[in-house]
Amino acid sequence: MIGVMISASFLMLAPFFLMLTTSLKSSAELKSIGFSIFPKEISFANYLVAMQRGKWVRYFYNSFVITTVTVLVSLVINSMAGYAFARLRFRGRQILFISSLIGMMIPPQTTMIPVFIMLRHFPLVGGNDLFGSGGIGLINSYTGLVIPFIAGSFGVFLFRQYYLNFPHSLDDAAEIDGVGKLRCFLWIYVPLSKPAFATLGALKATQTWNEYIWPLIMTTTSDMRTVQLALALFRDEHEIQWNYLMSATTIITIPLVVLFLFAQRFFVEGIVTTGIKG
Amino acid sequence: MQVSISATRKGLTVPSYIMLLAPAVTFMLLMYAYPFLASIVRSFLDKSGAFSFENYLKTIDLYTKDIAFTFTVTIFNTVCTAVLAILIAVYFRIRQNRITTILSAIYKLPLFIPFVVVAQMMNSFLAPHGLLNVALAQLGLIDLKQPLQLFNFAGLSFGFLWKQVPFAVLIMHGGFQMIDNSYIEAARSAGAGMGKVITRVLIPMNKSSILVSLVLVYSQIVGTFTLPYMLIGGKIPTTITVDIAHRVNYFRDFGVANALGVFSYLLVLLTAWYYLKTKLGETK
């Protein structure tokens, strides 16, 4: 068992380690024949060169805006739906909940084409008329980059599992005090939901920050690029500049690692508390 | 039935469950249900908009190997993820030592790395003279003159496992942590060895977490584009998602792309059917 664990540790760390060491190698070393694990000469300048190519302040700004809006809006609407499924009784609740779970199983890449067409023909925006013609719709807009990631079956599922763990006496006490369901959710359940918010927030932020395909098809201008798309600056038909690519990759990973370290306590608690019991 | 009246605007009353559910359900209908149904409908339309099986005939003619390849890659990696993730999560649950402390910090790293970066790292890590081949050569296991060729099923699987095992561990670990120690102690005092505790107590009691994580892993693997695209590209066989991109980018052929999408749904339907069957069984 220990052998498996040590092998697993090596395999988990090795590509990450390779990313860091490659980011510190000089271009001459990378072009030379032969492979060495450690850089012969450490070149921190790679990070500077990588960040000077392209408009990285703009790319980071775009990614921050898209990630922040997606996370905040999705936390609000997923927690509301999760609460309704877990604590309220209404006709068709079970069927609606199970139907919503199917969304969790649809590969997003396969629905991208219809979503793209729908957003491209969104009426009255991006030069489109009432019937969605004449312009570019939500292409090259933050709205178009955010909308597909706001609602997710997984988020609803996670909050529902979390709220199932609360005792019914909590609802009874609120009802006796004359607190309606909406206020009960806002005043009682939301303040008790830090672990669930941290869990979904961290997962959603990771997913949105790391998204590559959707921004690729929804943006056409350099100014709307996200950090993931900007990595293409170091890759062309003839050559990949590995040292700069890995320097930029290391830098764009940092915000997520910081976020995770910040949210880790709640995150682990959230996963354990929700149990994601199915 | 919950009929709590929570909002009153000019005499209009809306039950609270509708207000709470409406935003999420609306987005899900627009972003999941509509595209899902639209892609199915469009897969049955030819270029003139008439009903036809043309797209399916073309798909079967050109992409049967790729569909089989996608299915094999998905099943293989889901099974491997299940085995590895259960081993690691169980180890975290039953052992508290320095190794678990270190490993529990390390294993989450791949969660932060996007597939596009994973693919780039794997390109370098799995290359004929990359770190893996060099490490194996230094251990005397291979000759660097004949390095392992890993830009194929093997490399793809390595990339998927590297990315998916931590995610599965994260979810399973939560489930295992919920199991009370008293169950383990009771089994051990009844004479069960650690193997039996794992297979007869821990895994059955955490069946639903394991199931949820594997359903998610399975559908993520079916739908991943970046890793197969950057690792094996247009080589045959490749995955359905790469074929979809190929049909759209080079031929603007949305009909066949949608038909390929429907084959992905069919692959995912297997897990969806099993999952819903289990869920409905639980709720009865």
Residues B44-71: pLDDT tens digits? 998 888 999 999 999 999 999 999 999 9
Domain boundaries, chain A: 40-274
Query: Which residues of B are less than 8 Å from A100 in CB distance?
Result: 24-25, 28
Let me know: does A267 contact A260? Beta carbons within 8 Å: yes
Give the chain A residue nearest B177 (alpha carbons). Answer: A272
Q: Are residues B119 and B164 in the same domain?
A: yes
User: Tokens representing B234?
Assistant: 């247009």
Q: What is the pLDDT of residue A271?
A: 64
How far B189 CA lies from chain A's nearest CA (Å)?
A: 23
For position B123, what pLDDT does the model report?
Answer: 78
> Given CB atoms, is B90 within the 8 Å cutoff of chain A?
no
- Cα(B162)–Cα(A42) distance, integer angstroms: 28
Contact, A150 vs B30, CB < 8 A? Answer: no
pLDDT score at B65: 94
Q: Do A77 and B23 touch (CB under 8 A)?
A: yes
Write out the DSSP string of A153-196. HHHHHHHHHHHHTS-HHHHHHHHHTT--HHHHIIIIIGGG-HHH
Question: Using CA atoms, how far apart are residues A124 and A134, in angstroms rounded to an integer?
Answer: 10
Residues B38 and B144 in one domain: no
Beta-carbon contacts of B250 under 8 Å, excluding residues fewer than 6 positions away, are none
CATH of domain A40-274: 1.10.3720.10
**B222 plus B114 within the same structural domain:** yes
Q: Give the model's pLDDT for residue A186.
A: 92
In the predicted model, is pLDDT for residue A161 greater than 90? no
Claim to verify: residue B70 and residue B136 sit in the same structural domain: yes
ipTM of the complex: 0.81
Per-residue pLDDT of chain B (284 residues; tens, 9 = 90+): 444 444 455 556 788 889 999 999 998 888 888 888 888 998 999 888 899 999 999 999 999 999 999 999 999 999 999 999 998 889 888 888 887 887 777 787 787 777 777 787 777 778 887 777 877 887 888 888 888 888 889 889 988 998 899 889 888 887 888 788 898 889 888 888 888 888 899 999 888 788 888 888 888 898 888 889 888 877 778 999 899 888 887 888 889 998 998 998 888 877 777 776 766 565 55
* Better-predicted residue by pLDDT, A259 or B161: B161
B162 located within any domain: yes
Rounded Cα gap, residues B254 and B81, in angstroms: 33
- Closest CA–CA distance from residue A210 to any residue of chain B (Å): 5
What is the rounded distance in angstroms from the CA atom of residue A165 to the CA atom of residue A272?
Answer: 11
Question: What integer pLDDT is reported at residue B12 of this predicted model?
Answer: 64
Same-domain pairing of B32 and B90: no
Q: B106: domain CATH number?
A: 1.10.3720.10
B212 falls within a domain: yes
Alpha carbon of B171: minimum distance to chain A alpha carbons (Å): 7
Per-residue pLDDT tens digits for B260-274: 989 988 888 777 777
Taking the C-alpha atoms of residue A162 and residue A73, their distance in angstroms, rounded to an integer, is 19
Residue type, A250: T
Q: Is pLDDT above 60 for A204?
A: yes
Of A113, A257, A271, the CB nearest to B171: A271
Contact B175 A277 (CB under 8 A): yes
Is residue A278 predicted with pLDDT exceeding 50? no
**Domain assignment present for B142:** yes
Q: Does a structural domain hold residue B237?
A: yes
Does residue B178 sit within a domain?
Answer: yes
Q: Is residue B49 part of a domain?
A: no
What pLDDT is attached to residue B266?
87
Residues B103 and B192 in one domain: yes
CB contact, 8 Å: B80 with chain A? no
Q: Does some domain include residue B75?
A: yes
A8 and B170 within 8 Å at the Cβ level: the answer is no
Q: Are residues B148 and B167 in the same domain?
A: yes
Of residues A67 and A166, the one with the higher pLDDT is: A67
Best interface-test mutation with B: which of A105, A190, A225, A234 has the largest number of B CBs within 10 A?
A105
> What domain range includes position B172?
54-283
The per-residue pLDDT for B4 is 47
Mean pLDDT rounded to a whole number for chain A: 85
| pLDDT at residue B3, rounded to an integer | 46
Same-domain pairing of B113 and B251: yes
Residue in B21, B35, B112 closest to A260 by CB: B112
Three-state DSSP at A235 gives strand
Domain count, chain B: 2
Looking at the structure, do residues B128 and B168 belong to the same domain, yes or no?
yes
**pLDDT tens string A106-159:** 777 778 888 888 999 999 998 899 888 888 999 999 999 999 888 778 889 889
Q: Within this chain, do residues B199 and B256 fall inside the same structural domain, yes or no?
A: yes
Q: Give A108's contacts (C-beta < 8 A, 6+ positions apart).
A: A148, B223
Q: Which residue has the higher pLDDT, A36 or A111?
A: A111
- With tokens 């990771």, the residue in question is A206
